[in-house]
Structure 1
Amino acid sequence: MNRLAVPLRVLALAAVLAAPAARADFSTTNVQLLQGWNFHDKTLGYNTSSGAMTTVTINHFSTWAYGDNFFFVDLYRGNFLDFSGTAHDYDRAKAYGEWHPRLDATKLLGFKMPGFKNFGPAAELNLGSGYFGYLGGLGGDLDLPIPGVVGVNVYYKYDQYLHDTFQVSPFWTLPFNIGPVPFLFTGFVDVQGWKKDGNGDNSLDGVDVLAQPELLVDVLAPFGGKAGKLYAGCEYYLHFNKTHGDEQVPQAMLQWNFN
């Protein structure tokens, strides 16, 4: 099967889910272009012979009466190496997608969870080139007296390699201004239980941490253009793994918001 087939099906599903966006309470979609030059992450497969990797990301987030829906698809381009360090002519493109639906039990059941704007069941589907993961748990957005969103999801996770484990995923999107210039600080951290041999038979012996904070500046707004359309800045790719070591990769980034 084509290496991109399953993730592209995720993208097709995402397009179907996004179709009713006009009926959503809120909807936003963007496309991102990222370029990094030091990718040697064997654990997650972002390992290229030169370290260079180009990523195109499609993001969508929408809310409805009783929950919200987020998905993204990453398309990667680079001269990828396998875990042994061998390059293959066919292995120059990868794809990965996630879908995050959540229900707001505070609206469904009419109660207030202290400290949260919304709270309820949360799920996540991960699909990529040679990888799958299924997650279920609880999550919500914190009730903080600041603009933007800060939230956390807590999951039971079953995936292709670790089998049974857990994942805690805080995330944030925080707008701010320095003088007349608007900025956006956004990102997430995924903390999951790690098993050293990765075969699912042994108990947890540590954690794996993946973080991707982004600092972006609104390019058009300071010059009279439409605010919130074009952002430029950087993403910092951080992956800390007890067994295979740590990776830190700054990436140049552009983001175009469709709505």
Structure 2
Amino acid sequence: MPDHSHFYPFYLGIITATLAQPCPADFMQWHNSEIQYLHGGNYQEPFNPNDVSQSIITITNAHGWTYGRNFFFMDALFTESGQPSQTNLYGEAYSTLSLSKISGLNLSYGIFKDFGATGGINLGENMDSPQSGTRAWLYGITLDFDLPGFDYFNVDFLRMRVTEPADIGTSWQITPTWKLPFEIAGSKWSFEGFADFIGKKGDRADRQALAQPQLRLDIGDLWGNGNHLYLGIEYQYWHNKYGIKGLHDNVPQALLLWKF
């Protein structure tokens, strides 16, 4: 298998440079960037009977522009116990073109707010084993829903092609993402996250379901500096992790987040 580990700084550099470019106000319509710290103690890994403890640092950015929106995240995963120490990088980037923005027409109807065309890439690398890694290319359609109380509720219907660690053909992926803000006794909370439902990939990978819902408390708002510092919990459920039949994650993770 080709070694592409030396391209990782290039991928990250392109993303960072792109996000750093100044944009006219009418071009960049909104943006949201976050740094998250997560910690969990009972992850499951292949061929390992032990619970694995690890910390995860995640950088995310989402922004809307004249003809759609873009989103990316990058995870750095640090193993702490349960297996030999290692560092893994994993990132995804997606771009969605809005049909209503491109056409200039109001395409909303009932619970449907917009329709889009989406393309993306998934990249993964074990920095302690450069010959390992993942590459997947995705494309399809996105439905934006207008649901009461939600800031957003979107569902991607994507075709996936995995090209590394081997070209194992195509599959499908359905991904809902959501954000539901609410208040309790004057404190500000949100319930948000995503779920991936992924089809079988030949005889190499079984069907998967991965969900990472988060419950966040805006603790900065408690002293008058809201929408920046959050404390909460993320629950990771992964059925047939990595496509390995019978390997499952059920991991509550402590969450600390800074939004900028």
Say which SS state the counterpart of residue 13 (structure 1) adopts: helix
**Could you tell me which residue of structure 1 aligns to residue 154 of structure 2?**
151
State the Cα distance separating 1:79 from its structure 2 match: 5.3
Normalised by the length of structure 1, the TM-score is 0.84
1-side partners of 2:49 and 2:10: how far apart? 25
Q: Which runs of 5+ in 2 are unaligned?
A: 126-132
8 A Cα contact 1:238 1:249, kept in partner: yes
The range that moved more, 244-253 or 48-57, is 48-57
Aligned length: 241
2-side partners of 1:182 and 1:48: how far apart? 40
1-side partners of 2:134 and 2:81: how far apart? 16
State the Cα distance separating 1:197 from its structure 2 match: 2.9
2:199 counterpart of 1:193: yes
> Within 5 Å, which residues of 2 pair with 1:164-243?
164-195=170-201, 197-198=203-204, 207-224=207-224, 226-241=225-240, 243=245
**Could you tell me which residue of structure 2 aligns to residue 10 of structure 1?**
11
> Within 5 Å, which residues of 2 pair with 1:94-173?
94-111=88-105, 112-114=107-109, 115-129=111-125, 130-159=133-162, 160=164, 162-173=168-179
1-side partners of 2:54 and 2:124: how far apart? 16
**Could you tell me which residue of structure 1 aligns to residue 45 of structure 2?**
41
2:58 counterpart of 1:31: no
Cα deviations by residue, 1:94-115 (Å, 9 ceiling, x for unpaired): 1011101100012212441533
CA-based RMSD of the aligned residues comes to: 2.5
2-side partners of 1:236 and 1:150: how far apart? 19
- Are residues 136 and 216 of structure 1, via their aligned partners in 2, closer, same or farther at CA, if it must alter by over 3 Å? same
8 A Cα contact 2:55 2:80, kept in partner: no
Identity over aligned pairs, percent: 30
- Are residues 181 and 19 of structure 1, via their aligned partners in 2, closer, same or farther at CA, if it must alter by over 3 Å? same
Which amino acid letter does the alignment assign opposite residue 35 of structure 1? H
Cα deviations by residue, 1:23-74 (Å, 9 ceiling, x for unpaired): 310011110001110011339xxx7955111100000000011100000000
8 A Cα contact 1:149 1:172, kept in partner: yes
1-side partners of 2:259 and 2:78: how far apart? 22
Q: Which runs of 5+ in 1 are unaligned?
A: 82-86, 200-205
8 A Cα contact 2:169 2:201, kept in partner: no
State the Cα distance separating 1:143 from its structure 2 match: 1.8
Say which SS state the counterpart of residue 237 (structure 2) adopts: strand
2:56 counterpart of 1:55: yes
8 A Cα contact 1:40 1:247, kept in partner: yes
Say which SS state the counterpart of residue 145 (structure 1) adopts: coil
8 A Cα contact 1:21 1:27, kept in partner: no
Which amino acid letter does the alignment assign opposite residue 116 of structure 2? G
Say which SS state the counterpart of residue 220 (structure 1) adopts: helix
- Are residues 80 and 155 of structure 1, via their aligned partners in 2, closer, same or farther at CA, if it must alter by over 3 Å? farther
Which amino acid letter does the alignment assign opposite residue 229 of structure 1? H
2-side partners of 1:98 and 1:218: how far apart? 26
2-side partners of 1:80 and 1:124: how far apart? 33
Say which SS state the counterpart of residue 245 (structure 1) adopts: coil
- Are residues 5 and 187 of structure 1, via their aligned partners in 2, closer, same or farther at CA, if it must alter by over 3 Å? farther
- Are residues 218 and 21 of structure 1, via their aligned partners in 2, closer, same or farther at CA, if it must alter by over 3 Å? farther
State the Cα distance separating 1:146 from its structure 2 match: 2.4
8 A Cα contact 1:187 1:212, kept in partner: yes
2-side partners of 1:8 and 1:100: how far apart? 18
Normalised by the length of structure 2, the TM-score is 0.84
Cα deviations by residue, 1:201-230 (Å, 9 ceiling, x for unpaired): xxxxx6310110000101111222x11100
**Could you tell me which residue of structure 2 aligns to residue 257 of structure 1?**
259
Which amino acid letter does the alignment assign opposite residue 31 of structure 1? I
2-side partners of 1:5 and 1:57: how far apart? 21
